[in-house]
Amino acid sequence: MKLQKRRPLQEAAQQSGIDLESLLHFIEWQWIHPVDHTHQILDEEDIARARLIWQLQQDFGVNQEAIPIILHLIDQLNCLHIELKIETKKDSTQETSD
């Protein structure tokens, strides 16, 4: 698995261009789960997810109630995508060895 850079909250806010208060709200509402919750440290996944939420809110005008639903669907889509890739890979390996 790729090792991801970790950043304290303040630095993550700077890097993502999202204000600190909004980031704290995203954590409070459990839309993002920092990789290190105790020390409020975010990794690339957390920051990319926060940026997606920010885009949904700021650029697409999605309201607060809809955000967790969209995140749920995107996670589902990503998960299925990964599982499908694993299965396809297994299949092609089996076909090659048969």
Partner 1 sequence: MKDPYQTLGLTKQATQEDIKNAYRAMAKKYHPDLNPGNKEAEKKFKDVAAAYELLGTPESRGKFDRGETPEQMQEQQQQYQQQARSSQRTGPFYYNTQQDGGRYSHSFGEDVGMGDIFENLFRQTGRRGPSRPQGGDIPGEDQLYQMEVDFKDSILGADREITLPTGKKLQIKIPPGIDTGKRLRFRGQGGPSAGKGPSGDAYIEVTVRPLAGFRRIDNNVESDLPISFIEGILGAEVQVPTLDGSVILKVPPGVSTGSRLRIRGKGVASAKDPGDQIVVLKVVLPKQINPELQEAVRAWEGKYSYNPRVES
Of the residues 19, 64, 77, 93, which one makes contact with partner 1 according to CB under 8 A = 77
Q: Is the dihedral of CA 52, 81, 1, 37 positive or negative?
A: positive
- Residue 27 tokens read as 């954590």
| Closer CB to partner 1, 45 or 64, in the complex | 45
Of the residues 28, 30, 37, 81, which one makes contact with partner 1 according to CB under 8 A = 81
Residue 8: φ, ψ to 5°:
-65, 160
Residue 17: φ, ψ to 5°:
75, 15
Binding site for partner 1 (CB under 8 A): 1-8, 15-17, 33, 35-36, 39, 41, 44-45, 47-49, 51-52, 55, 59-61, 74-83, 86-87, 90-91
